[in-house]
């Protein structure tokens, strides 16, 4: 009997699948379930000329912008909520060092669905906003059914989608213990899909609760076991946002724009260029610091 092929790779090897000039899709939502380990690796490699299509984004995107990796950005949001409502590199360099194709969540979703469904465009309710003026993929056309002019959005081809989820088996069946956000749309739209997970589990565990399977193996090319792979953001059911290290990022970036590049350079060295692997990154942060982010601790602090 022929054997089924496992889809396992390391963070370091998976990052090599992304090439300069690729269009990549990034799942998650703001500071939750972002594939940060993989993005740190891409940043260490200084991937260039990327087009990034992303769900609402946080510091992982700002890190890429800081390192001039992105030529064109399509995302509805780049901030970190109360800690930094608008992230510094996005705020200072948008339109100057990289192009922003303006979207809101609805426009981004329609863009992905148009790609999934292989239709030339899908209508969106953004007529009257600036989005058609600020995004070459959005146009206002006559309604063939006689209604007022309607905005439509063109599909986008995505070379590689990168997603972080809770657990998976070696064959590529993925389970999210929390919201999918638009991860399933990225998985369906992209030519290649890489999913980092907190835990690798046996196939029997997946089958034990198939209702939880959010991305079946048919939509997944690579599984990367990366515990704490969404750090310094949070990960469903495992850990929450590391506000302390998020602040180090934001403070370093703000100092950079205030004319003092030193804190930013040390941030880059400590968090990105120093650790050679994701394992070394976790050791650098320190497991006792990681464990402080455990969700169970919320009760103790109540």
Partner 1 sequence: MALANVPESLLEAPPYPMELMAYFIAQQMRNGDYVALGTNLPVSTAGVLLAHLTRCPDIKISALSYFMHLARVERFHDLGQVASPRLSRWAESIWSLDALLDAVPRMDWSFTGALQIDKFGNTNLIGVGDDPTNLKFRGPGSVGSSTVAAICRNYMIHVGSHAPRVLVERCDFRSAVGFGEGGDHRQRLGLPGGGPKFVITPKAIMDFEPESKHMRLKHLLPGVTLDEVVNNTGFELMIPEIIEEIDLPSRKELGILRARIDVQGVLRR
- Contact residues: partner 1, CB under 8 A: 29-30, 32, 55-56, 75-79, 81-82, 85-86, 90-92, 94-96, 99-100, 102-107, 109, 113, 124-131, 134, 143, 147-150, 178-182, 184-185, 234, 240, 295, 298, 302
* Nearest distance in Å: CB 132, partner 1: 10
Our CB check for partner 1 shows the closer of 203 and 213 to be 213
Our CB check for partner 1 shows the closer of 96 and 118 to be 96
Our CB check for partner 1 shows the closer of 22 and 104 to be 104
Q: How many CB atoms lie within 10 A of CB 109?
A: 18
Beta bridge partners of 54: 26
Q: How far apart are CA 281 and CA 44, in angstroms?
A: 12
Our CB check for partner 1 shows the closer of 15 and 230 to be 230
Our CB check for partner 1 shows the closer of 90 and 256 to be 90
* Nearest distance in Å: CB 79, partner 1: 4
* Nearest distance in Å: CB 81, partner 1: 5
Q: How far apart are CA 156 and CA 158, in angstroms?
A: 6
Q: How far apart are CA 131 and CA 178, in angstroms?
A: 31
* Nearest distance in Å: CB 91, partner 1: 5
Whether the Cβ atoms of residue 24 and residue 52 lie closer than 8 Å to each other: yes
* Nearest distance in Å: CB 13, partner 1: 30
The sign of the dihedral angle between the CA atoms of 37, 163, 69, 103 is negative
Q: Dig out the tokens for 49 from the structure.
A: 């000329």
Q: How far apart are CA 113 and CA 203, in angstroms?
A: 30
Q: Dig out the tokens for 195 from the structure.
A: 């999913």
* Nearest distance in Å: CB 240, partner 1: 5
* Nearest distance in Å: CB 288, partner 1: 20
Residues with Cβ within 8 Å of residue 299, at least 6 apart in sequence: none
Our CB check for partner 1 shows the closer of 2 and 298 to be 298
Q: How far apart are CA 236 and CA 180, in angstroms?
A: 10
Q: Dig out the tokens for 188 from the structure.
A: 């369906």
Bridge-based pairing of strands 150-153 and 222-225 is: unpaired
Our CB check for partner 1 shows the closer of 235 and 272 to be 235
Residues counted in the chain: 302
């Amino acid at each position: 009997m022929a054997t089924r092929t496992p889809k396992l790779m390391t963070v370091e090897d998976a990052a090599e699948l992304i090439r300069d000039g690729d269009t990549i899709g990034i799942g998650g939502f703001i500071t939750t379930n972002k594939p940060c380990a993989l993005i740190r690796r891409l940043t260490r490699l200084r991937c260039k000329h990327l087009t990034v299509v992303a769900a609402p984004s946080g510091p992982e995107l700002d890190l890429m912008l800081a390192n001039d990796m992105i030529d064109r950005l399509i995302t509805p949001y780049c901030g970190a909520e109360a800690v930094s409502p608008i992230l510094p590199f996005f705020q200072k360099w948008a339109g100057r060092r990289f192009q922003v194709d303006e979207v809101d969540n609805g426009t981004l979703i329609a863009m992905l669905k148009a790609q999934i469904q292989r239709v030339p465009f899908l209508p969106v309710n953004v007529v009257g906003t600036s989005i058609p003026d600020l995004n070459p993929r959005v146009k206002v056309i006559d309604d063939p059914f006689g209604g007022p002019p309607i905005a439509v959005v063109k599909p986008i081809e995505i070379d590689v989608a990168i997603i972080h989820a809770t657990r998976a088996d070696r064959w590529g069946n993925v389970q999210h213990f929390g919201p999918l956000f638009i991860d399933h749309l990225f998985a369906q739209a992209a030519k290649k899909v890489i999913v980092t997970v907190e835990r690798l589990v046996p196939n029997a565990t997946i089958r034990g609760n198939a209702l939880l399977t959010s991305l079946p193996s048919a939509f997944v090319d690579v599984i990367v076991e990366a515990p704490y792979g969404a750090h310094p953001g949070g990960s469903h059911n495992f850990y929450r946002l590391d506000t302390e290290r998020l602040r180090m990022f934001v403070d370093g970036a703000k100092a950079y724009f205030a004319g003092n590049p030193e804190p930013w350079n040390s941030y880059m060295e400590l968090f990105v260029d120093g650790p050679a692997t994701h394992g070394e990154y976790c050791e650098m942060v320190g497991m006792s610091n990681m464990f402080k982010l455990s969700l169970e601790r919320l009760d103790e602090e109540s």
